[in-house]
Amino acid sequence: MIIHESRFTYQQKGLHKLVDLGEYWEQTTGHAIPLGGIVVRKSLPVSVKAQIDALIRESLEYAFERYPALPPYVKEHAQEMDESVMRQHIDLYVNQFSIDLGVEGKKAVDRLQQAV
């Protein structure tokens, strides 16, 4: 199994794709693949959950406003050092679904919950 930046560089290492599980998921379900999420305990006060949500949104918006600049932290910790690969990786995992799932994103999460 190949994950993260290697998804974009496996061919350079002489590897061949048998199945892309993200593509497979999208073709068989008709939904985007939920790659990750942030959850909070249901018992937390609504005000605390709202504050967490606002801080995450603020952080994402800050990053989006400065993109495509890559912070030194990202460059230092990337497994694949080619900047174009880092950008592909970021574009795949950090996008509009990160700010708001919307109807399409919520359907994808619901479908994943049905599958497990």
31 has catalytic annotation: no
Give the integer Cα–Cα distance in Å for 95 and 64: 9
Catalytic residue among 4, 16, 31, 77: 4
Q: Give me 72's structure tokens.
A: 């030194």
User: Which residues have C-beta within 8 Å of that of residue 60, sequence separation ≥ 6?
Assistant: 94, 98, 99
Of the candidates 8, 36, 38, 30, the residue with the CA atom closest to the CA atom of residue 20: 8
Task: With both helix axes pointing from N to C terminus, report the angle between 102-115 and 21-29 in degrees, rounded to the nearest 10.
Answer: 100
* Residues labelled as active-site residues: 4
